[in-house]
Amino acid sequence: MDHRTEVQKETERQYAFMEKAAGYVEAMAAKLGRKPTCCVTTFGCQMNARDSEKLAGILEKAGYELVEDENADFVIYNTCTVRDNANQKVYGRLGVLNGYKKKNPHMKIALCGCMMQEPSVIEKIKKSYPFVDLIFGTHNIFKFAELLTAMFENKGMVIDIWEDTDKIVEDLPVERKYPFKSGINIMFGCNNFCSYCIVPYVRGRERSRNPKDIIREIEGLVADGVVEIMLLGQNVNSYGKNLEEPVTFAQLLTQIEKIEGLERIRFMTSHPKDLSEELIQVMKHSKKICRHLHLPLQSGSTRILTAMNRRYTKEQYLKLAEHIREEIPDISITTDIIVGFPGETAEDVEETIDVIRRVKYDNAFTFIYSKRTGTPAAAMDNQVPEDVVKAGFDKVLKVVQDTAREQAARYQGQVMEALVEEINESDPGMVTGRLSNNLLVHFPGDASLIGKIVRVSLEECHGFYYVGKRVE
Ligand code: SAH
Ligand code: SF4
Ligand code: F3S
């Protein structure tokens, strides 16, 4: 059987399981006298969120009503394990779910996502959270319908974790959170093994989707009302290298740009070591690729970068960022920074601050280093004491905020296009739109604007967002 037929067969198999699961949900509905409810909770990154949309798509097909409240008939936690606080949140909230379950005997609880790829987590759940009904991992999420059926047919905990996979199953249902924008996986896994990071262990090796499958999915999304897409991968710059017919990420973008009706293209994440000149030129000349580049720095100290296995130096990073700012002056550059990597000194933190000042990040996510079992950094014997990390973190955060504020202010008075995303949370007479450079702008408007791209004049800068006015 060739690869494509095999993939199609698997998709058909899963649709059959959705029908089977629908039978169980229908029986439950008859018993309850109402449609059973389900809640999908996302704990992680954009990829995790996209997976949640796939889970929701299948649950909806099975006949559940999607709700936000976790006091539901079926709750699934799509977990993250990139930092320990993500794990702690899951354990804390499982206790609350158990309380709901005691009052609702029909309730089922499932766990999936990155955290489930860690054997120690499974042991802990088996021992301390025996009320969980279903557990699976990242590699077999495509068989969620099948696992759901198994959950209904079995009494105890159903556990199915795969160590890795080379499978990419296409064409399963998806229930999007936003009608007008969507994430889309272009690749899975990661081969980089940054020494602090657990992602390669829980997401497996890098696999790129076929450009044809990606284009077909985007065309389908556009036909369904999507105007903005975010291409997702741990390192999009190495997209396509291992395909039978290799394609570069820049070439993929050029193909996507041609899709009629698609207005905006975003992507995440770019690893600095693989960012090509070809990509910079494609971005520079594109009408659809947003003026935003997320370019994780992690540290500004070459010594720490080497220990992190990031494979670029401070100087190389600075040169790259400077070149990008020269080529695309209106671009917004954002980053991720880790403070407290083993062996990091006050001087190293100063190097990071130096890079922040020079690159002038438009925004940065700053994280305290979290020790992840099984990664090389966890075994390093020079872990930094908590109070030292905290002091460095506060210092970095302050510079990040000052720089971001200054950078945001540079658009004052300009007119820009914003994609309206929602009614403003605190003022129902206002809407919130996202600019190409990823800044938010609040301006007077109503629900009829949601999903539309409109021109807005940026009147007042409030630190990290604007208040503006719609212009024709
Ligand atoms: N693939 C992306 C990052 C994915 S994880 C990239 O390489 O850029 C998102 C961010 O989490 C990382 O950029 C890093 O800053 C942070 N992170 C990853 N592992 C971490 C750890 N052990 N402790 C603290 N932050 C971590
Ligand atoms: Fe983690 Fe590095 Fe891979 Fe990003 S590139 S997911 S930080 S190992
Ligand atoms: Fe994302 Fe967290 Fe997994 S950051 S890839 S959900 S470990």
* CA–centroid distance, residue 367 to ligand 3 (Å): 14
- Please give the single-letter amino acid code of residue 203: R
**How far is the centre of ligand 2, averaged over its atoms, from the C-alpha of 300 (Å)?**
17
Ligand whose nearest atom lies closest to the CA of 334? 1
pTM: 0.96
Among protein residues, the one with the nearest Cα to ligand 1's atom 3 is: 234
- The pLDDT, as a whole number, for residue 318 is 98
What is the SS3 assignment for the chain? Answer: CCHHHHHHHHHHHHHHHHHHHHHHHHHHHHHHCCCCEEEEEECCCHHHHHHHHHHHHHHHHCCCEECCCCCCCEEEEEECCCCHHHHHHHHHHHHHHHHHHHHCCCCEEEEEEHHHHCHHHHHHHHHHCCCCCEEECCCCHHHHHHHHHHHHHCCCCEEECCCCCCCCCCCCCCCCCCCCEEEEECEECCCCCCCCCCHHHHHCCCEECCHHHHHHHHHHHHHCCCCEEEEECCCHHHCCCCCCCCCCHHHHHHHHHCCCCCCEEEEECCCHHHCCHHHHHHHHHCCCECCEEECCCECCCHHHHHHCCCCCCHHHHHHHHHHHHHHCCCCEEEEEEEECCCCCCHHHHHHHHHHHHHHCCCEEEEEECCCCCCCHHHHCCCCCCHHHHHHHHHHHHHHHHHHHHHHHHCCCCCEEEEEEEEECCCCCCEEEEEECCCCEEEEECCHHHCCCEEEEEEEEECCCEEEEEEEC
**If you take atom 2 of ligand 2, which residue's CA is the nearest one?**
194
- Closest residue by Cα to atom 4, ligand 3, is 45
- List of the chain residues with pLDDT < 50: none
CB 189 within 8 A of CB 204: yes
Q: How far apart are CA 453 and CA 181, in angstroms?
A: 12
Ligand 1 pocket test, candidate residues 46, 48, 82, 386, most atoms within 8 A of CB: 82
Atom of ligand 2 nearest to the CA of 271: 5
Distance, CA of 49 to CA of 175 (rounded, Å): 11
Does ligand 3 lie within 6 Å of residue 81's CB atom? Answer: yes
pLDDT at position 168 is: 87
Q: Are 36 and 65 in contact (CB under 8 A)?
A: yes
φ and ψ at 357, to 5 degrees? -65, -40
Q: Is the CB of 141 under 6 A from ligand 3?
A: no
Identify which ligand lies nearest to the alpha carbon of 371.
Answer: 1
In this predicted model, what pLDDT tens digit does every residue of 348-360 receive, in sequence order? 999 999 999 999 9
Cα 171–chain centre separation: 20
Neighbours of 223 (CB within 10 A): 9
- Which residue, by CA, sits nearest to atom 11 of ligand 1? 82
What's the CA gap between 331 and 438, in Å, rounded? 10
Across all residues in the chain, what is the average pLDDT? 97
Classify the phi-psi angles of 41: left when phi > 0, otherwise alpha if psi is within -120 to 50, otherwise beta: beta
The ligand whose atoms approach the alpha carbon of 311 most closely is 2
Q: Are 138 and 202 in contact (CB under 8 A)?
A: yes
Read off the tokens for 41: 């909770």
Let me know if 343 is exposed, middle or buried by CB neighbors in 10 A (0-12, 13-18, 19+): middle
> What confidence score (pLDDT) does residue 1 get?
61
C-beta of 310 in contact with ligand 2 (< 6 A): no
- Give pLDDT, residue 418: 98
